[in-house]
Amino acid sequence: MNRYYWILGAFAALVALLAIGLKLDPRDVPSPLVGKPAPAFNLNVLATPDKTFGPKDMQGKVWLLNVWSSWCVSCRAEHPVLVEFGKKVDVPLIGLNYKEVRGDGGFDMSKMSAEEEKKLAFERANAWLNQHGDPYKLTVMDLDGRVGIDYGVYGVPETYVIDKAGVIRMKHTGPITPDILSQKILPLLAELNK
Amino acid sequence: MNIRALIAIFIFACFFGSTATNASSTTEAALAADPVAEKRLQHLSEELRCLVCQNQTIADSNAELAQDLRHEIRGMIAAGKTDKEIIDFMVVRYGDFVLYRPPVKGITLLLWGGPVALMLLGLVVLVRYLRRRATRIADDRPLSADETSRADALLKENTQK
């Protein structure tokens, strides 16, 4: 009889292990960038295309970098949360528009010049923000996704919390839900702004 | 048409479909002129995981990110970077997860040691089981005179009923 308890116990342990495995999110890959300085970039600003912006401009401030795109469906789901955040919280939110045109998949990039791509990307990004609301202090345009690679972006939307020293303190992959905002991001922002 | 023929056609269609998708990913590779660089790209991208599809290498995946990263690797090869520098570039951005062969360190100890530990555990269980069975067989001595008479009595009792 004793042996059957053993087998039952082993089976229960296996079930528990698999149940934990099922609950884990395979997309939740820990970013090696947490604790490291935010990679530098210098990109054109959506609202003022002749000006550029980089993380160094935010030195001394706690801020959020949110990667989005108009073709990204989850960004649409996330957006109302960001709009609310923009109204209520006094922490600058910077948008990083990721591959607005070439990420869409609907364009033949071999037939599009760099100028055409840039024009279209700015138009599309502006239209999207006009339609859904603009919670961003400003948005920069990463047309070819090169800055995205430096930030280890692999699934838009992604959000980074960056501290006063310019160090990434948190990365969230996937849409921000009200729960994640109130339980993880807001407490961290409060702590960093002390 | 019998079922076997249908199955054969189905299997054939599956193979044909998969080779067709392979062909589309190799056209991109064919664009590159330098065969040596291309071989390095192939080798490197087989070591790297595509974070979008997660169970495919950058070489196999047709995801946007994989294409971008292949492009990035090609650029770094052209710039004369070593394989190690290129792999490090990826690890800095995406972590050890990007490596198909993660390094042995504290956090990956269970990953590398787990299978060996499980096999050792299995061996211990097997050896113990075999030993116990061997002693049990050795215990199979013939019945003593006393036991034989008891057994006979019991059997007789049974047939009398």
Confidence of residue A178 (pLDDT cuts 50, 70, 90): very high
Rounded distance, CA B27 to CA B20, Å? 11
Residue A23 has pLDDT above 60, yes or no: yes
Those of residues 134-193 in A touching chain B at CB distance below 8 A are 145, 149-152, 154-155
Which of B87, B107, B127 marks a domain boundary? B107
Q: Is B95 on the interface with A (CB under 8 A)?
A: yes
pLDDT of residue B14: 47
Q: Which residues pair with A97 in a beta bridge?
A: A68, A141
Give the pLDDT confidence of A99-119 residue by residue, as tens digits.
999 888 888 888 889 999 999
Q: Contact at 8 Å (CB) between A57 and A142?
A: no
Distance of CA B39 to the CA centre of its chain: 25
Fold of the CATH domain A32-192? Glutaredoxin (3.40.30)
Mean pLDDT to the nearest integer, A36-47:
94
Residues B153, B94: one domain? no
Say how many domains are in chain B: 2
B24 plus B103 within the same structural domain: yes
Structure tokens at A144: 């070819």
User: By residue range, what is the domain housing residue B101?
Assistant: 3-107
Q: Please report residues of A whose CB lies closer than 8 A to that of B91.
A: 32
| ipTM given for this complex | 0.78
For an interface test with B, which of A154, A158, A171 has the most B Cβ atoms less than 10 Å from its Cβ? A154
Quick one: B79 and B20 in the same domain?
Answer: yes
Q: Are residues B23 and B102 in the same domain?
A: yes
* Listed residue (B26, B34, B52, B49) closest to B95, CA to CA: B49
Do residues B96 and B135 both lie within one domain? no
Q: Note whether A155 contacts B51, CB cutoff 8 Å.
A: yes
pLDDT computed for residue A194 by the predictor: 84
Task: Supply the pTM of this predicted model.
Answer: 0.74
Task: Assess A16–B contact: CB distance below 8 Å, yes or no.
Answer: no
Q: Do A155 and B69 touch (CB under 8 A)?
A: no
Q: What angle do CA B158, B159, B161 make, to 5 degrees?
A: 75
Distance from CA of B159 to the nearest CA of A (A): 33
Instruction: Looking at the structure, tell me whether residues B13 and B80 fall in a common domain.
Output: yes
Examine the domain organization and report whether B54 and B43 are in the same domain: yes
Q: Are residues B98 and B121 in the same domain?
A: no
Domain check: are B71 and B25 in the same one?
yes
Could you say which residues of chain B have pLDDT below 50?
Answer: 1, 14-31
Backbone angles phi, psi at A142, to 5 degrees: -100, 85
Check if the beta carbon of residue A191 is closer than 8 Å to that of residue A170: no
